[in-house]
Amino acid sequence: MTGPIDRQPVLTGGLVTLAPTVPGDHDALFAVASDPLIWDQHPAHDRWQAPVFRDFFDDGLAGGGMLTIRDAATGAVIGSSRYGPHDVAADEIEIGWTYFARSHWRRGHNRESKRLMIGHIVRHVPTVVFHIGADNARSRTAVAALGAVLRPGTIYIVRGGRPVPHVIYALSRP
């Protein structure tokens, strides 16, 4: 590791800008997240509902690492992602909790956001992991396209009061 880990950097690319999420971002992020189709394959498929999203948002602020994603051309809020806490024993950090406005799907915004986040964090840890709902084909395809490799096994994460199977993809720096 080189220096303290900054889990809330400002990252800028050609398509997106990522910056630390602040309480004032709630309404713009909820406007994006309130589309039920964003969550249809996600284990937490009810995040489009205001009280569920509020908990998700507040957890992100409390845990640190939450980033608001804006379209670089317009400045409009188009989604969010997070860095999880540093797993010191494994020396890895999770990237996840990502969602985008459907208007920005399949246009390179997710890929660029993830590449910026990965490029930033691998200066501090050798491995980035992605915990993805086992049935979330859309997210699994996206992280595999980044070069992440499926780890064997399944973990269970509680979502909506019940354990939901997740798989882990890992991307290690060369």
In this prediction the pTM is 0.92
Residue 42 pLDDT: 82
Q: At residue 2, does pLDDT exceed 60?
A: no
Residue 169 lies in a domain: no
- Among left, alpha and beta (phi > 0; psi -120 to 50; other), residue 3 is left
Band of the pLDDT at 3, cuts 50, 70, 90?
Answer: low
Residue 144 pLDDT: 94
Sign of CA dihedral 159, 61, 3, 96: positive
Structure tokens at 107: 């246009």
- How far is the C-alpha of 14 from the C-alpha of 118, rounded, in Å? 16
Residue 1 pLDDT: 44
- Among left, alpha and beta (phi > 0; psi -120 to 50; other), residue 79 is left
How confident is the model over 130-159, as a mean pLDDT?
92
Residue 156 lies in a domain: no
Domain that residue 84 falls in: 11-125
Between 158 and 32, name the one with better pLDDT. Answer: 32
Residue 140 lies in a domain: no
Residue 22 pLDDT: 98
Residue 165 lies in a domain: no
Residue 45 lies in a domain: yes
Residue 117 lies in a domain: yes
Residue 103 lies in a domain: yes
Q: What is the pLDDT of residues 55-81, one digit of tens each?
A: 999 999 999 999 999 999 999 999 999
How many domains is the chain built from? 1
Residue 161 pLDDT: 80
Residue 119 lies in a domain: yes
Closest CA to 138 of 38, 68, 45, 69: 38
27: CATH: 3.40.630.30
